[in-house]
Chains A and B, each alone.
Chain A
């Protein structure tokens, strides 16, 4: 199974919004509403930020939001802050398997 496609990097100034896309296929993102997003800092395990396309775990600010259209999911970070920096990975459940995105580096300018 091929990795989901994400942009290599996105950047924005504090207070701006950025959106990360995650493109899969009809076998994963397009079929299942089990898309999740993880933030990862160097040397640390991934941290869950969004699950089931658009749900936030407790403690994750509502500046982060998820959506999906067809085979593409998206993560939007509004009101960008310094601690939003990091690598972000999307992940789709696909029939008892998981497929991850290629990863996007978010930089706050």
Chain B
């Protein structure tokens, strides 16, 4: 069974930084691409970023390009999202998701507020 557990969320001031982590189990992590998806309060789902199994291919949504960086450590079965220059409208629940039909973690709340 695929399990994805996010951590690292919390309250941060506008302009600040935060790094999310996601530990995966139940599948061969290095063989699978991973994604980050977020959902602002009361809003829909927004895909943010993709990283291939080898980290050789990375994509970002325009809304986070230049501010967020996705990375992974296959030895630790982990994927990360470094978030810089955070804005109030980045407030959301952030999910890591395994590619394919997406398998989701439980999500982690990031609140950007002064």
Contact = CB atoms under 8 A, between A and B. Distances in A.
A97 B57 CA distance: 11
Contacts of A100: 37, 44-47
Interface residues of B, number: 22
A62 to B, nearest CB: 17
A5 to B, nearest CB: 11
A32 interface: no
Contacts of A99: 47
Contacts of B100: 51
B13 interface: no
Interface in B20-50: 33, 35, 37, 44-47, 50
Interface in A52-109: 52, 57, 89, 91, 96-103
Contacts, number: 52
A14 interface: no
Nearest to A87: B44
Interface string A1-33: 101000000000000000000000000000000
12 contacts: A34-B101, A36-B102, A45-B95, A45-B106, A45-B107, A46-B95, A46-B102, A51-B101, A57-B101, A98-B35, A100-B37, A101-B44
